[in-house]
Amino acid sequence: MSGTTLAGGPTQDEIMAVSLFKLGLRSTDTLLEIGCGTGKVSIAAARTAERVFSIDKRPEAVAIARDAAEQAVIRNIEFSCSDAIDFLTSDRIFDAAFVGGSQRLVEILPLLAKKVRRTIVVNAVLLSTLAQAVATMKQLGMFCEVVQVQVARSHEIAESIMFKPIDPVYIIVGKGFAC
Percent of the chain with pLDDT over 70: 93
Is residue 39 very low, low, confident or very high in pLDDT (cuts 50, 70, 90)?
Answer: very high
Structural domain 13-175, CATH architecture: 3-Layer(aba) Sandwich (3.40)
Residue 25 contacts residue 96 (beta carbons within 8 Å): yes
pLDDT at 66: 97
Identify the burial level of 91 via C-beta atoms within 10 angstroms of its C-beta, where 0-12 means exposed, 13-18 middle and 19 or more buried: exposed
Please say if the pLDDT value at position 147 is more than 80. yes
Give residue 4's pLDDT.
Answer: 56
- Model pLDDT, residue 6: 67
| Domain ranges across the chain | 13-175
Confidence of residue 102 (pLDDT cuts 50, 70, 90): confident
**Residue 179 to residue 128: CA distance in whole angstroms:** 27
What are the tens digits of pLDDT across the range 107-136?
A: 999 999 999 999 999 999 999 999 999 999
Mean pLDDT of the chain, nearest integer: 93
Q: Give the pLDDT confidence score for residue 177 in this predicted structure.
A: 66
Average pLDDT for 7-18: 86
Q: Residue 94 — pLDDT band, cuts 50, 70, 90?
A: very high
- Given this model, what pLDDT does residue 11 score? 86
Relative to beta strand 116-124, strand 160-165 is unpaired
